[in-house]
Structure 1
Amino acid sequence: MGTNIKQTHRFILYITTLIMVIFPLVESILQELSLQINKQLFFFLSKLVIIYVLFLFLKKKKITLSSIRLKKVHIKYILLGILMGIIVHMLSVIFGRIQYYLLTGEWLSAEKIVSTLMESSKNISFYSIIMIGFSVAISEEILFRGILLKEYQRMNIKPAIILSALIFSIYHMTVGNLVFAFVMGISFALVTIYTESIIPAIFFHFLVNEILRILMHFPEKVTETYFKVMVSPITTITGLILFLSILTFLFIKVIKNNHFQSEKVKFFDRYIILLFLMYVIFLTIK
């Protein structure tokens, strides 16, 4: 495996350590010192730190923004990213309901979803959702689709998509999110390669993460009516068909328009093995 990929893996490991160890430690120290912490602000600032570290990495490696696909793109591709985000939101509702059913033995109703959403999103302003959502989407898309996917794609596109999605899913560190994040990683990769920009994936990523909390700011009756539509089997089936259709279209286009090189991508080196071990340890102690 090339030196650049090893360095990228090492960098992902550093970022993961920053998120899993250093930031929680700083937060706990501040709490021990009896300092009042706004968790949303702390999370936003931590993402800004990560973005700053990412740009330091790019500067050190003399990597331009255009080479990691952080560049202007036609509005139709941004709309594609927004469309994908909305469709995935339709599917995420049923995904969340299935998880809840497996844990409790009962299905989440629209009323229950709304009450849970309101409870979990107390004191979160609309503007903080926008700032936090885009800071997360920007930092992760630069890291995984801008840097990592680009390095893998130099060798072979199919393993590049799969491996970048696999590492993306491991990075998210929870069993419930593992499969979902893997599928999302593939989706983000296909959108990025097809549009030749990470901008559509940033909008896609933002909506997947934040659309539920954005809905919290609608009147409760409107939100409840909306979720009654979302929990409908027809909505779920429609969303699944649309998602698979667009994903298949993107996959065919990407495969046809990208040439393969003969060198194969090795699936793990010591840095990714270490990252995976950290994931297992995290699940064990949680």
Structure 2
Amino acid sequence: MTETTRTNRFTLLFFLYFMGSSVALAMVPAIREMSDSAYMLLAQLISFLPPMAFYFFYTKKDIRQTLRLRPLGWKNVLLILSFGISIQPVMSLLSYLMSLFFPNPVEQSIEGIQQSGVILSMLSVAVLPAFLEEIFSRGILLSGYQFLGRWKAALVCALLFGLLHMNPQQLPYAFVVGFIFCFLVERTDSLFASILPHMIINGTTVVSIFTQNAATAPLEMSSSAILVTLLVMALFSIPWLAFLLYLFLKVNPPRAELCLTDENGEAYTERFLTPSMLLVFLLYAVCGILPYLSR
């Protein structure tokens, strides 16, 4: 069994467990009565920790090496913090474009998050997802797909990160930011390069939710006005993002890529589209897209 095939099988098992545990939790009356943030906190712990612990128990892989638990250095911390803030206009534009076709799950949970309190909401929306989702996506998966090649592995991990959100509204911007996170991790060889901006992006969402009130709410704007505003903000942010990328590349020169050859002396690569991965796509289509199309 190749490393890619094994990673695909784990991904399928993870998605099955992820969806199954979510359904099971929703059926427990005591859990349904919890606040939204408390429910999200518990659901994430139950959905992520057991399968990831099983992965390391089964594969016997070194946790520190697989997850790239290495320090970033102060220059990278500053650059990545700036990136996490500056990328948000582009993400907001992509999110708004998709919300024209599919409901935004964040908007639907605003009231529940506000009722949960700032600290609990920050833990459940910003801190815990940043660690758990990055350990799964840019840790386990990015390591498991290394024989696809660096860029293909990044694209695959970004796609699976988008599918993990289980709704079409979040897929495009999750894919884009997921690919960038893979690049940051590859260049720094540290998982903290994706945990940090992930936490900043989600934390900004929590702050914006708790700073919204009737007195500070913006005037009603038409869809076209909102779109133009977001587009202008995104365009203005791009030159600054390009400058941050330039500085990041200077601080983090490219590292040598793992180059293996087959028996013919050609570059060794593995096949990504196995039956397990096709089943993952089918699960997403049935559970992540059809419920929205049937509304």
In the superposition, the TM-score normalised over structure 1's length comes to 0.79
Alignment of 1:1-286 (within 5 A): 3-27=2-26, 29-31=27-29, 36-49=33-46, 50-67=48-65, 68-101=67-100, 119=111, 121-132=113-124, 133-218=126-211, 220=213, 231=229, 234-244=232-242, 246=244, 256-261=254-259, 262-282=267-287, 283-286=289-292
What is the rounded CA distance, in whole Å, between the counterparts of 1:177 and 1:118 in structure 2? 16
Which has the larger helix fraction? 1
What is the rounded CA distance, in whole Å, between the counterparts of 1:116 and 1:160 in structure 2? 33
Per the alignment, in what secondary structure is the counterpart of residue 149 of structure 1? helix
Shift of 1:255: 8.7
Per the alignment, in what secondary structure is the counterpart of residue 272 of structure 1? helix
Shift of 1:159: 1.1
Aligned to 1:109: none
What is the rounded CA distance, in whole Å, between the counterparts of 2:284 and 2:100 in structure 1? 25
Aligned length: 270
Kindly tell me: are residues 69 and 90 of structure 1, through their superposed partners in 2, closer, same or farther at Cα, counting changes over 3 Å?
A: same
On the 8 A contact 2:68/2:139 being kept in 1, the answer is: yes
Shift of 1:197: 0.7
What is the rounded CA distance, in whole Å, between the counterparts of 2:88 and 2:252 in structure 1? 24
On the 8 A contact 1:191/1:201 being kept in 2, the answer is: yes
Q: Which 10-residue stretch deviates more, 233-242 or 174-183? A: 233-242
Q: Match of 2:290, as an amino acid?
A: T
Kindly tell me: are residues 35 and 96 of structure 1, through their superposed partners in 2, closer, same or farther at Cα, counting changes over 3 Å?
A: closer
What is the rounded CA distance, in whole Å, between the counterparts of 1:256 and 1:200 in structure 2? 15
Unaligned runs of 5+ in 1: 105-114
Report Cα offsets for 1:144-185 as digits up to 9, x if no partner: 111111122245112111122122222222222222121112
CA RMSD of aligned residues (A): 3.4
Unaligned runs of 5+ in 2: 220-225, 260-266
- Seq. identity, %: 19
What is the rounded CA distance, in whole Å, between the counterparts of 2:91 and 2:252 in structure 1? 25
On the 8 A contact 1:85/1:205 being kept in 2, the answer is: yes
What is the rounded CA distance, in whole Å, between the counterparts of 1:84 and 1:168 in structure 2? 19
On the 8 A contact 1:149/1:164 being kept in 2, the answer is: yes
